[in-house]
Homo-oligomer: A and B are copies of this chain.
């Protein structure tokens, strides 16, 4: 059972009473009715790739895995939509859509191992958000099993609809605390006709790289991907896989464009304007994929170095360079190793705080540095979590961002939908 108790964090799991591998909505209903009658807490989970401890088991709970519900029930090419079960692997849906000239846009870095259900539960972001939005923006409708076992449907198959409250939006990102998503109608988009152009630029300072991202977005360009990788991360990747890293490189900006509204030449121009040492564009698919792999290797490369506290702060886009500086200062002040990658186009940064493996949680200097980073994000008008969710690991900071009155509204909604507090207790809110 142990494999069903954790996500990808160090958050220590409780001991579940049992694991249910549901194969259809009826089995989810059966599980929820039983749990509700027995007052047993339920921890729903998808691929277990979460980065905030949202799927971590609690003592005595029923772990409810949706990973076996993997059917793509429908693809309706003419309406640009699909109906999927929650256990579908994100990249599998994208591949299925591409057979119809369409794509499923949301692509968290974990897209080859994470599930649509998990993506919906956390409102996952990813590399293409900067152009195509987050998971919420691709969710048209849901089937949800409530705490008592009732099955409700939200939204529908239309791109617009205002009958009743936006329950689809409410369940998306609620981290399994309000209901269990058993099916989703998701938006597909036309796949770009041409292969994307990928731009790589290297910078001698992290601040210059941050400025490049701010200039690109400020100019109103809309790349389909705009990432920043700092020196510490590049080194970790280089040590592991060998990427011929230049010792003078403090940061890399990686951008992609998949449409004529964002010419690659403009992306290059702004990188040079910001002081890039090197900047080049490629339309070769193999080369593009290799460049993107650098970004996708960031987490596994960091995890080779020890346990990681993964922060997920997001700031207004123009504050990105300032936020990067604040992270560097926190690392220095507390003597902590921080690797930073960022969805720079969204102002969403992932500082990875490395600490000794085997510890139950981060040591005090890491906690202190993380506190400082979070406070800086709030001070700059930002948020604690751009796309990973609160889970258990970020709950200590929740009140600092939301404040007691807004948090009280959350608790009233939670109580209205799950009066016995059985759904994923201790998570998200």
Contact = CB atoms under 8 A, between A and B. Distances in A.
Interface in A238-264: 259-261
A123 B168 CA distance: 14
A166 B167 contact: no
A159 interface: yes
A426 to B, nearest CB: 15
Q: Which has the most chain B C-beta neighbours within 10 Å: A134, A165, A220, A406?
A: A165
Interface string A132-153: 0010110000000010001111
Contacts of A167: 406, 409-410
A316 B76 contact: yes
A129 interface: yes
A97 interface: no
A214 to B, nearest CB: 7
Interface in A147-196: 150-154, 156-167, 169-170, 172-174, 178, 189-190
A402 interface: yes
A259 to B, nearest CB: 5
A347 interface: yes
Nearest to A429: B164
A146 B406 CA distance: 10
Contacts of A214: 78
A377 B222 CA distance: 35
Contact of A156 (B165, B382, B410): B382
A104 to B, nearest CB: 14
A168 B299 CA distance: 31
A157 B381 contact: yes
Contacts of A219: 190
A346 interface: yes
Contacts of A429: 164-165
A403 B163 CA distance: 12
Interface string A361-399: 000000000000000000001111111111000100010
Interface stretch (A8-16, A285-293, A351-359, A412-420): A412-420
Given A166-B170, A174-B165, A405-B150, A160 B387 contact: yes
A386 B347 CA distance: 32
A303 interface: no
Interface in A259-311: 259-261
A186 to B, nearest CB: 13
Nearest to A400: B163
A151 B405 contact: yes
For A317, A348, A398, A428, which residue has the most chain B Cβ atoms within 10 angstroms? A317
A24 interface: no
A8 B318 CA distance: 41
B386 A160 contact: yes
A382 to B, nearest CB: 6
A423 interface: no
A163 B78 contact: no
A315 B162 contact: no
B220 A190 contact: yes
Nearest to A130: B159
A319 B76 CA distance: 12
A154 B406 contact: yes
A401 interface: yes
A347 B161 CA distance: 11
A90 interface: no
A314 interface: yes
Contacts of A384: 163
Top 7 nearest A-B pairs (CB, nearest first) are A190-B220, A169-B169, A416-B416, A78-B318, A161-B383, A160-B386, A79-B316
21 contacts: A78-B218, A79-B316, A79-B317, A137-B137, A151-B405, A152-B406, A156-B381, A157-B381, A158-B315, A158-B348, A158-B381, A160-B387, A162-B385, A163-B402, A164-B428, A166-B166, A167-B406, A189-B220, A190-B219, A259-B261, A413-B417
